[in-house]
Amino acid sequence: MKPLEDQRAMAGEDAILSCELSRVDSPVRWLKDGKAIRKSQKYDLLCEGTRAMLVVHAASLKDSGEYTCETEASKSTASLYVEEKPNRFTEELADLQVEEKGQAVFTCKTERPAATVTWRKGLSELQASRKHAPSQEGVTLRLTISALEKADSDTYSCDIGQARSQARLVVQGQRVLITEDLRDVEVQEGSSATFSCRVSPGDYGPVYWFLDKTPLHPNELNEIKTQPGGYHMLTLRELGLKDSGTVYFEVGDQRSSATLRVTGGLHASAVVGTVHVAQDAV
């Protein structure tokens, strides 16, 4: 008898062990780990001339072991090693473009539930935190990145040991819109003027106010405040004729403007023209 040879098979594949007999049609008995094997859905016992074969269908890890081919005159033993198929990605990570302050969710799927999962940003391994939240549901793997900043832009990867998937995250500047523009205001000398506009999203910042080309800052004459719903308000007090001009509101790449017209009033003679621009430190 020509001895059996050790065999390796991937899980799910058929494994075949064979040996050469000294005579045609010699009675053969197959054993696994010392226990007799009979023909079944799992096993096929075949003979072709002097060749005896054992076919193990859809081999699984538990089919690994020692197999013996035995005749009346001799026997031979060899090992079968069944190895798990390498896990793989059935759905790869995809590139993402998300606005600042938003949330990015990377998703991928594997053929089988992954035993180990490592997420990385660039070369740095990520740990679960309020910022980075990895999760696993069966074959679905996710990484949620919250409160996005431009510094979060990078290449992210998911490593399951036998395979790796990666994708790019680009964090874009948050887009802002002015949904209610400034309106022109006309007031009498010595009184106050209030300008209001509205932005979306309401918490976007920073914002800037100008009178003509001069930046405005909070002081005893200028009141700058925000209100719920994305409203921004500017109140200019004790206005003089020289304060007439154009008020500008800027946020992101958006701009709104309105005309401020200060007219002479009944008490104009008692009012000194005031230079109203911010001079906090002057």
Model confidence pLDDT, tens digit, residues 68-105: 999 888 889 999 999 988 899 999 999 999 988 899 99
> What CATH code would you report for 89-172?
2.60.40.10
Burial class from Cβ neighbours inside 10 Å (0-12, 13-18, 19+) for residue 270 reads exposed
For position 175, what pLDDT does the model report? 83
Tokens of 156: 């992210």
For position 78, what pLDDT does the model report? 94
Pick the CATH number of 7-83 from 1.25.60.10, 3.40.190.10, 2.60.40.10, 3.40.50.1100: 2.60.40.10
> Which residues, at least 6 apart from 201, have a Cβ–Cβ distance to it below 8 Å?
101, 174, 176, 230
Common-topology check for domains 7-83 and 89-172: yes
For position 225, what pLDDT does the model report? 95
Q: Which stretches of the chain score pLDDT less than 70?
A: 1, 265-282
For position 265, what pLDDT does the model report? 63
For position 277, what pLDDT does the model report? 39
CA distance 252 to 226: 16
For position 1, what pLDDT does the model report? 67
Q: What residue spans define the domains of the chain? A: 7-83, 89-172, 177-270
> What CATH code would you report for 177-270?
2.60.40.10
